[in-house]
Amino acid sequence: MILHSISTSQSLSHGSNMKPPTRDGPAINRLVDMIQREATDAGATVRRWEGGPDRGDVLLLTPPGQDPASSLLMHGHVDTVHAHGSLTGTLMPRVENGRLYGPGVYDMKGGVLMAFQEFKRGLAKPRDYPRALSLMIVPDEELGSLFSRAITEEIALAYKAALVFEPGAKNCGVISAHKGYGEYVVSTKGKSAHAGAWPHAGQSAVVELCRQILILEEITNDVIGVSSNVGLMSGGTFTNVIPEHAIARVDLRFADNEGWEHVKACVEGLAAVNPAVELKIELTVHQPPLTEQSTALMLSAVQQAGRQAGLKVHAESTGGSSDANMIAGVGVPVIDGMGPEGSGAHTPFEYIDIESYAIKANLLRTLLTGNFIN
């Protein structure tokens, strides 16, 4: 039955054949168009924000005349990390041993489909739902939601609470905490010189950057739950030139706001070891953590609904972050991991467990049609 709905849902089954990769706005928008059409046919009110050719658009679907203050916002992304052409080979859409394979089925079209089906049911049978439902779909989560973030934050702020449909944890698990995420660009500017003729006339930007990288890597501290990774670096032009420029990007993770203050102070407090080299530090991304405090209300509601449905729902935390972080960051109660279980996100072996789709869809229906969110 679930497989039937996955394969017959107009928008998303076509969508998984399109599997829009991040950065391809027109491909993402073909899927966004289909969802919009299906939602409009079902009677939804649609708002759409244009993201441009390398992103795709943001869509907000609501019932007509909705009051967000008493309603719930369901949230998901339709972009995937898979490139065009990945519909063949190991990701060829198929069912095998109770698993549905396909690019983006787990992260996170399975979850988006589940939310969309419930949204449409809410339109058709509003009396079954004590709180009206909206659905927001974003096109750029895999790129850090740079475009959609401000829209998500502004819209979420008006709602009672939110549910994010990223993949769920094994054995009926939802996600109650994500680390926060910060990214800095650290760059150095030295002085170039001919490496053979005047080796002492130059000031190496590469050497200075390497010193800084060693300091940055020392930030990792398991006791306070922070980590640092310099994932990218480059510098110099030719082997016979003392390098004038070098640049690195560092990824920082933290469990709570104190952790953020700590890593921020470490990075922003860096000083050049060689005073003749200029050091520049620039914050490019900051996503607040999703803390257990911000998910407590919704977790308790989901667990109560689970008991009613005969399911034992547990919560897990992950190191990765999602749009739930941003929603929590503006102070709106939220829960993540409402999507189906599976494995292989961002790999050529991505799948969802079909039975878990049925279980999670049942949990969602019980949650949204009961009086659990006060």
CB of 205 to Zn ion, least distance (A): 36
Among 32, 108, 301, 326, binds Zn ion (CB under 5 A): 108
Report the residue number, 300 or 343, with the smaller CB distance to Zn ion: 343
* Contact window for Zn ion (CB under 5 A) among 101-109, 151-159, 207-215, 363-371: 101-109
Residues near 356 by Cβ (< 8 Å), separated by ≥ 6? 168, 172, 340, 341, 342
How many residues of this chain interact with Zn ion, rule: CB under 5 A? 3
* Matching residue, tokens 């003392």: 242
The residue nearest Zn ion at its CB is 107
Report the residue number, 108 or 113, with the smaller CB distance to Zn ion: 108
CB of 106 to Zn ion, least distance (A): 9
Report the residue number, 107 or 256, with the smaller CB distance to Zn ion: 107
Residue 107 is a binding residue for Zn ion (CB under 5 A): yes
Interface residues for Zn ion in 148-167 (CB under 5 A)?
166
Binding mask 283-312 for Zn ion (x = CB under 5 A): ------------------------------
Interface residues for Zn ion in 163-202 (CB under 5 A)?
166
Residue 353 is a binding residue for Zn ion (CB under 5 A): no
CA 220/CA 242 separation, integer angstroms: 31
Report the residue number, 175 or 248, with the smaller CB distance to Zn ion: 175
CB of 127 to Zn ion, least distance (A): 33
Report the residue number, 162 or 206, with the smaller CB distance to Zn ion: 162
Backbone angles phi, psi at 84, to 5 degrees: -55, 145
Residue 112 is a binding residue for Zn ion (CB under 5 A): no
Report the residue number, 262 or 360, with the smaller CB distance to Zn ion: 360
Report the residue number, 274 or 318, with the smaller CB distance to Zn ion: 318
Beta bridge partner(s), residue 189: 245, 278
CB of 166 to Zn ion, least distance (A): 5
CB of 99 to Zn ion, least distance (A): 18
Binding region for Zn ion (CB under 5 A):
107-108, 166
